[in-house]
Every structure is written in structure tokens, then in C-alpha cells.
Amino acid sequence: MYNIAVLPGDGIGPEIITETIKVLQAVGEKCGLEMKFTEALVGGAALDATGVPLSDETLELCYNSDAILLGAVGGPKWDTLPVHLRPEAASLLRLRKELDLFANLRFVKLFPGLVDGSPLKREIVEGTELVVIREATGGLYFGEKKRERTAEGERAVDTLVYNTFEIERIGRLAFEMARKHPRKHLTSVDKHNVLASSRLWRDIMNKLAKEYPDVNLEHMYVDNCAMQLVRNPRQFSIMVTENMFGDILTDEASMLAGSIGMLPSASIGGKVALYEPAHGSAPDIAGQNKANPLAAILSGALMLRYSLSAEEAALSIEKAVNSVLEAGYRTGDIMAPGMKRVGTVEMGDLVAKSVKEEAL
């Protein structure tokens, strides 16, 4: 029996997590995997109910689980709160830090059924499949911040700090992933020409490269990378980068997969891994049965693969998602002419049904 901590969160979080559990239960029955799901509040929902966005009890539940499944946190209701109470900083960033989830892996895969719905031409985007490894517990989002009055007005400061060990451990993880990939190619993305932290980053990547002579290491500036992602996305297979660079590049890369609603992620590094869609709580469509649950459902598949070692069950979900897309079903964000529009719940039902029907 596997214990899964479930943190639905805010906005569309609870809607997409309901569909994910529906699909996980279907695959569990099919593959004989027993999973116990224990829900807890996180983010704005937790703040409203308990006064804190991430309670010690929730943290403990996470520590003692085999994996964590998260929806999304945040929303306009909490945007003006001081940073220690804001759902993203006080729950998600804290969760990553406390659980030592220093690597956020975002999987960008264009399902064949979505090629014609992509804003990019078929010949550019077809066959895109890459992983962005984003450093997730250091860098610009975790450095010292301050805002102060000056004689001229106000001044705000953010700091981008990296220690050798932080770069080394994310670098090693990236080289290991690249080593297992058929192309054995790693792109390290930095801003070496301007930032001191990027110069340390590059030095360490070069040092690690000597331990991985079978991996071809390439360095790329982040601004060039943003351009290359839409010019020729198939050149990439594994990419590793700083926290904010990775945040921005993966939102851009999500469009290669058709929508931000298609991008699953895994946060790893510590004892327990966390799985969540790459998107936010989408308050503009929350509660309207419009959200695409596939990023969350595919995050569930990653959980099966990486935390439960249930490769067959993970593949079964990925095959089911592919079949539903091939059959022409689309949520609003990936809708194209001639396709069949469905809502969040219907999409979850279709994937669960397909999981049950498909042969292993």
C-alpha cells in the first residue's frame, strides 16, 4: 500500500486533482496497485481555514508519505498579503525547501494529436520532447530581498545566490539524466556574460563534464535559449538551469506542448518527491469546468514512474491520454477546429475510461 499526500490547493487545483485521483484509481485497479490518498489543505485554502498556508501537520503528512500530489496554490485574494503569508512563498517554496526538493523536472512533450493545434508550424514542432531541470531551492527566488526608502523614493533588491554544493547536486542530477538519454546531450543555460552566479554555474558544469565524458555538454545563454526554443525545439533533450530562468523558459516551452495545461512536473531531491502540473491556479477559469486536467494527470503518471516504480501503470496513463487526444477530445486551451470540446470532468472521465479499456 502506498500512501499519497494530496494537496489540492486553490483555484483550479481541486478540480484537476479530483480528475487525477479518478485516473490513478482506475490505473490502480487495473495494475493491482494499492494507493491510499490523504488530503490536506495548502496555500490560500489553508490560510483561510487555519491561519497558515502550510501547517506543520501538513508538512509531517508529506514527510511520512511515499509521494505528494499537488494541484496549485495562490490567487488574487491573497496577492496583497505580506510575503510570509502569501500562498506561493509560504507554502510551495517552503515545501520545496523543507523537503529538499531542489530539482524541478518539467517534461515538455508534444502529443502527436496536438501537432496541428500548435501555434508553431508542424515542421518545427513535431517530435518535440525535452526535459527542463530547474534548480528549485536557490537562485533568485530564494536570495535576500528588501525594499527600502531612499532620498529619491524607494529601492527594491533581489539577490541571486548560489553555493557550489547547490550547483553541483543539480548538475550531477542533470548529467545522470543526460547519460541515460539516447542522445546524451545536456544544455546548461546561464547568463555567463553578465552574472557572477552564472560564471560559478558554468565553471562547475565544466568540472562535472570531466566525470561524464559520454555526455556532450553545451552552454547556452538564457536569452538565446528563449529564441532557440521556438526556432528549433528538437535540438534540446535535457536542459538544466537556474530557478527563475527555468520558470520562464518552461512557460514558453509549454506552448511547444500545446498549452501550459499539458505540462507535468516532478520535484525531487529529498526523501519524498512532489508531483504537480507546471501551471498555476488559473483563477480566471476556476470553478467553471474549463481547466485542462491533463498536466495534473500526467504528473500522476510521473509519480507512478519515479516514486512507485510502477512503469507499466505510468505508461498506461500516458497511452490513455494519447488515445483521448487522438480521438479528438479537447479542453478549451487546446481546442482546434473540428475537435470535440469537453470540460475538466469529461476529460478526466475519458482518460479513466481509456485506462480501463486499453490493453497493457
Q: What residues are annotated to the active site?
A: 141, 191, 223, 247, 251
C-alpha 202/C-alpha 2 separation (Å) is 40
**Best CA proximity match to 299, nearest among 351, 234, 353:** 351
Question: Could you tell me the smallest distance in angstroms from the CB atom of residue 159 to ligand NAD?
Answer: 21
C-alpha 151/C-alpha 77 separation (Å) is 33
C-alpha 97/C-alpha 166 separation (Å) is 12
Q: In the complex with ligand NAD, which residue's Cβ is closer, 243 or 292? A: 292
> 146: which strand partners?
157
Question: Could you tell me the smallest distance in angstroms from the CB atom of residue 247 to ligand NAD?
Answer: 8
Question: Could you tell me the smallest distance in angstroms from the CB atom of residue 307 to ligand NAD?
Answer: 18
Question: Could you tell me the smallest distance in angstroms from the CB atom of residue 44 to ligand NAD?
Answer: 8
> 267: which strand partners?
104, 274
Angle at 94 between CA 63 and CA 302, to 5 degrees: 60
Q: In the complex with ligand NAD, which residue's Cβ is closer, 186 or 282? A: 282
Q: In the complex with ligand NAD, which residue's Cβ is closer, 19 or 190? A: 19
Footprint on this chain of ligand NAD (rule: CB under 6 A) = 12, 72-75, 88, 92, 260-261, 276, 279-285, 291-292, 295, 333
**Best CA proximity match to 334, nearest among 294, 303, 282, 299:** 294
**Best CA proximity match to 138, nearest among 113, 112, 159:** 159
Q: In the complex with ligand NAD, which residue's Cβ is closer, 74 or 233? A: 74
Question: Could you tell me the smallest distance in angstroms from the CB atom of residue 59 to ligand NAD?
Answer: 16
Q: In the complex with ligand NAD, which residue's Cβ is closer, 7 or 177? A: 7
Cβ within 8 Å of residue 220, ≥6 positions away: 187, 188, 189, 190, 228
CB 75 within 8 A of CB 87: yes
Count of beta carbons in the 10 Å neighbourhood of residue 194: 12
C-alpha 151/C-alpha 147 separation (Å) is 13
